[in-house]
Amino acid sequence: MASRFNPDKQHTLQQSVSIQGTGLHTGVLAELTLNPANPGYGIQFQRTDLDGQPIIKADCDLVTDVSRGTTLEANGGKVCTVEHVLAALVGMGIDNCLLQINGPEMPIMDGSSQPFIELIEQAGIEEQDATKIWYSIDENIFHYDEEKRVEVVAMPATEYQVTTLIDFNSPVLGTQHAGLKNIREFKKEIAPCRTFCFLHELEMLLENNLIKGGDVGNAIVIVDKPVEKSQLDRLKKVFNKESVEVKSEGYLNNLELRFPNEPARHKLLDVVGDLALIGYPIKARIIANRPGHSSNVEFAKKIKQYIKKNKHTRDVPTYDPTQPPVYDQQYIERKLPHRFPFALVDKVIELSDTHIVGVKNVTFNEWFFQGHFPGNPVMPGVLQIEALAQTGGILCINSMPEGLYDTYFLKIDNCKFKQMVRPGDTMVLKLEFTGPIRRGICEMRGTVYVGGKVATEADLVAQVVKRSEAL
């Protein structure tokens, strides 16, 4: 990433770019297109070859298979082997992107993230006028798998750092480790590192027709046991190669290692890709001993739950009027149809793919104080809910692909008014998604804070409709 890259701002692509390749396990040729997306959209996949073109969010709670890669499934759609492209997006600092694919699996390319890095560089990176909210942890988070001898820990840190250690009891691999001290090093140090497998695993996969798109050009094959000539002849035939030999160090002669510890570095790549499914950018030091997709995803779920459990107590929004907003009134007017006297959001000060924080300054001159109530001005509760709804509308719209949208609120539940809002108060309006968007239906939890205390809270459900469809 360029030295002028601002890690505290959200980023997307400057333009759409495409790449074509075969899926490792399915053998299906597919075209993958990376598209720019609005601030707060996050990373989402779209199956353009299926009816309804379902959207699948990059979310660890949507993982359905981790046997040979990471598979996401939602809304009747499935995407497989997502970890390499996700790692590339994280490594290049891309927060918002719609990945459209006309097949079930990401192209394997050379088995690394490098082709996706090059694709992102081809598109160009665009800084967005929106703050990137980093999430920190205050305590160690552990994950153990005694059967697989996996240990993973996340520790408090001021940067996102990852260390991996691997030990397969292999005389060829030995014990290896790899480290990433800063995510800006990902492109050079980690992205080129390709997936690997042992020869006996390769033969098993071939026998069971599990790597239909496999090729000796997209994986490092480790040979740690004596190999008969008949085995090499079979591989030569399967992969249509003139010769297949075993090098003295125990690697099939298909590839030259790019780093002495390339397998350990690829495991680190997988960790970065799988932890992208947390859905929140984190600052933590990750140490993973013998990691795999299964442990990575389970660990991602633990971190996600920790953030969700603690952020409401630790992250009560604070409003600093000296700081520039994410969105000002002029931008809000371009997103929402509301105008005076019904525009009830002055600015947006935080925005991510899962939450938004807006501000409404309540003055004595508000039109509704004339009748509510003379001599005892109190802001009507219904207007506090309307302020939440307008703020939530911005969150919903920014989570959709590019276009003009309106939001229509369908339901309000569990509404509670805990303190009165009076002239001079500053309402801080926070909304968080409580579930994935399904067919334009958005479920949110809304809270109004005044002076750091909860004034109003409610559960809101809205539907996002394209402007042309709403007429």
Kindly name the residue from 177, 200, 338, 372 that is annotated as catalytic: 372
Q: Please name which of 132, 185, 189, 98 lies closest in space to residue 401, comparing C-alpha atoms.
A: 98
CA pair distance 136, 157, nearest whole angstrom: 8
CA dist 433 and 308 (Å) reads 11
Report whether the peptide linkage leading into residue 340 is cis, meaning its omega lies within 30 degrees of zero.
no
**How many residues are listed for the chain in this entry?**
471
CA–CA separation, 281 vs 395, rounded Å?
A: 18
Q: What does the alpha-carbon distance between residue 442 and residue 409 come to, in Å, rounded to a whole number?
A: 9
Q: What is the pLDDT of residue 20?
A: 97
Within 13 Å, how many C-alpha atoms sit on residue 112's CB side? 27
Q: Provide the token pair at 314.
A: 């630790």
C-alpha 70/C-alpha 277 separation (Å) is 10
Kindly report whether the global pTM for this prediction surpasses the value 0.75: no
CA-closest candidate to residue 280, choices 260, 257, 264, 301: 301
Whole-number pLDDT of residue 169: 73
- The domain limits of the chain are 9-130, 136-314, 329-470
User: Which residue out of 25, 143, 266, 293 is catalytically annotated?
Assistant: 293
Task: Find tokens 């108060």 and name the residue.
Answer: 425
Q: Which residues contact 66 (CB under 8 A, 6 or more apart)?
A: 292, 293, 294, 296, 297
Spatial separation of the C-alpha atoms in residues 459 and 217, rounded to whole Å: 52
| Residue 103 backbone phi and psi in degrees, to 5 | -160, 180
CB atoms within 10 A of CB 197: 18
Q: Which spans in 20-150 are helix H?
A: 83-91, 114-123
| Three-class secondary structure assignment of 445-464 | EEEEEECCEEEEEEEEEEEE
What pLDDT is recorded for position 232?
Answer: 67
Strand 161-167 versus strand 282-289 pairing type: parallel
Q: How does DSSP assign 158-182, residue by residue?
A: SS-EEEEEEE-S-TTT-EEEEEESS
The DSSP-derived string for 300-314 is HHHHHHHHHHHHHHH
Q: Is the Cα dihedral 103, 105, 106, 111 positive or negative?
A: negative
Q: Which fold has domain 136-314?
A: lpxc deacetylase, domain 1 (3.30.1700)
CATH architecture of 329-470: Roll (3.10)
> In whole angstroms, how large is the CA radius of gyration of the chain?
25
Q: What is the DSSP letter of 185?
A: G
Spatial contact of 172 and 295, defined as CB atoms under 8 Å apart: no
Backbone dihedral region for residue 339 (phi beyond 0: left; psi -120 to 50: alpha; all else: beta): beta
- Locate all alpha helices (DSSP H) within 210-369, ordered by sequence: 229-238, 262-275, 293-314, 329-335
Same fold flag, 9-130 and 136-314:
no
Work out whether strand 17-22 and strand 9-13 pair parallel, antiparallel, or are unpaired: unpaired
Position 197 scores a pLDDT of 73
Distances (CA, A) of 50 to 82, 260, 267, 441, 464: 18, 42, 32, 20, 22
Contact 13, 97 (CB under 8 A): yes
Distance of alpha carbon 272 from alpha carbon 290, whole angstroms:
14
Compute CA 325 distance to the chain's CA centroid, rounded to the nearest angstrom: 24
CB neighbours of residue 324 within 10 Å:
10
Sort strands 71-74 and 282-289 into parallel, antiparallel or unpaired. Answer: unpaired
How many angstroms separate the CA atoms of 47 and 55, rounded? Answer: 7
- DSSP type of residue 200: H
User: Do the beta carbons of residue 14 and residue 44 sit within 8 Å?
Assistant: no
CB atoms within 10 A of CB 109: 23
Tell me the pLDDT of the chain (471 aa) as tens digits.
545 899 989 999 999 999 999 988 788 999 999 999 998 899 999 999 999 999 999 999 999 999 889 999 999 999 999 999 999 999 999 999 999 999 999 999 999 999 999 999 999 999 998 888 888 888 999 999 988 899 999 999 989 999 999 987 776 777 899 999 999 999 999 999 998 776 766 656 666 665 555 555 567 777 766 666 666 676 666 666 666 666 655 666 556 789 999 999 999 999 999 999 999 999 999 999 999 999 999 999 999 999 887 765 555 788 899 999 999 999 999 889 899 999 999 999 999 988 999 999 999 999 999 999 999 999 999 999 999 999 999 999 998 887 888 899 999 998 999 899 999 999 999 999 988 888 889 999 999 999 888 899 999 999 999 876 543
Measuring CA to CA, how many Å separate 207 from each of 44, 250, 329? 34, 22, 62
Residue 25 bears catalytic tag: no
Could you tell me the CATH superfamily of domain 9-130? lpxc deacetylase, domain 1 (3.30.230.20)
pLDDT at 471: 39
Q: Does residue 355 carry a catalytic annotation?
A: no
